[in-house]
Amino acid sequence: EQKSNPCPKKKRIGVMGGTFDPIHHGHLVAASGVQAAFNLDEVIFVPAATQPFKQGRKITAAEDRYLMTVIATASNPRFSVSRVDIDRGGVTYTVDTLTDLFGTCEEVEAFFITGADALARILEWKDAKKLLEMAHFVGVTRPGYKLDVPEEIQGRVSLVEVPAMAISSTDCRTRVQEGQPVWYLVPDGVVQYIQKNELYKQ
Chain contacts with ligand ATP (rule: CB under 6 A): 18-21, 26-27, 30, 114-115, 117-118, 140, 142, 165, 167-170
Please state the closest distance from residue 55 (CB atom) to ligand ATP, in A: 13
Measured distance CA(31)–CA(38) in Å, rounded: 11
20: helix, coil or strand?
Answer: coil
Please state the closest distance from residue 27 (CB atom) to ligand ATP, in A: 5
Residue nearest to ligand ATP (CB): 115
User: Which among 16, 115, 118, 112 is positioned nearest to 72, based on CA atoms?
Assistant: 16
Please state the closest distance from residue 2 (CB atom) to ligand ATP, in A: 41
Nearest residue (CB) to ligand ATP, 7 versus 135: 135
CB 9 within 8 A of CB 169: no
Nearest residue (CB) to ligand ATP, 42 versus 117: 117
Nearest residue (CB) to ligand ATP, 21 versus 64: 21
Rounded to 5 degrees, φ, ψ at 149 are -100, 125
Please state the closest distance from residue 44 (CB atom) to ligand ATP, in A: 13
Quote the strand ranges of 3-153, DSSP E. Answer: 11-18, 42-47, 79-81, 108-115, 136-140
Please state the closest distance from residue 116 (CB atom) to ligand ATP, in A: 6
Find residue 112's DSSP bridge partners.
15, 137
Nearest residue (CB) to ligand ATP, 78 versus 120: 120
Nearest residue (CB) to ligand ATP, 94 versus 102: 94
Report the Cα–Cα distance between both ends of the chain, in Å, rounded: 64
Nearest residue (CB) to ligand ATP, 94 versus 108: 94
Measured distance CA(150)–CA(147) in Å, rounded: 10
Measured distance CA(119)–CA(152) in Å, rounded: 13
Please state the closest distance from residue 20 (CB atom) to ligand ATP, in A: 5
